[in-house]
Amino acid sequence: MSKIANTPNPPYYAVIFSSEQTDDLEGYAETAARMEELAAQQPGFLGFESARDGLGIAVSYWSDLQSIKKWKAQAEHQIAQETGKSRWYSNYKTRIAVVEQDYSKK
């Protein structure tokens, strides 16, 4: 199970990836796990959270916009994005946001 990411004090960036899947999930789980591992190795990566029950929501956290752009353009990630688009996802939306405030359970 994914846990709440231990992000630093704001500001930082969040990439919210919301997706609906097709019935053809061949290779999906392996690629998702590999992308999570690979993202964590990128410069500027701060954390990752995900959940799915029908709709999937994955949020990755980053120190700056340049790091997000580099990750989007990373070669192995590009292939995963293309496969996601053509095979695994019937619909998705990516939102890039600046986290300005956060608060936790005391």
Give the interface with its own copies as residue ranges (CB under 8 A).
1-5, 7, 10, 14, 16, 18-20, 49-57, 59, 85, 89-105
Smallest separation (angstroms) from its own copies to the CB of 16: 6
Smallest separation (angstroms) from its own copies to the CB of 84: 9
Pairing of strands 55-62, 45-53: antiparallel
Listed residue (89, 87, 74, 91) closest to 34, CA to CA: 74
Nearer to its own copies, 35 or 60 (CB): 60
Nearer to its own copies, 14 or 39 (CB): 14
Partnered with residue 82 across adjacent β-strands are: none
Helix (H, G, I), strand (E, B) or coil at 88: helix
Nearer to its own copies, 40 or 98 (CB): 98
Structure-token pair, residue 96: 């890039």
Smallest separation (angstroms) from its own copies to the CB of 75: 20
Phi, psi (degrees; rounded to nearest 5) at 54:
85, -90
